[in-house]
Amino acid sequence: MYVSWNGATDVESWTVLAGKSPSTLTPTGSQPRSGFETMISVNSEGPYFAVTAQDGSGRQLGRSATVRRARA
């Protein structure tokens, strides 16, 4: 998964949440921010996903909308 937040300079890390329904999301991967776009390996088939952004002290700065993975 690739994540970015245009203009956000205080993001230190990203956490991916995944689950079988929007109400059962749990952390499945995280990664320190690495430039404009950060790649995060996720070991989950979801199919629902969301991403949170954290600052240097671990405080959540924001959360994406929950999305359903499209079928291949």
pLDDT, tens digit (0-9, with 9 covering 90-100), for 8-53: 889 999 999 999 999 999 999 999 998 889 999 998 999 999 999 9
The range of the structural domain enclosing residue 29 comes to: 2-68
Q: Residue 22 CB: number of other CB atoms within 10 A?
A: 14
> Total domain count for the chain?
1
Does the model's pTM come out above 0.75? yes
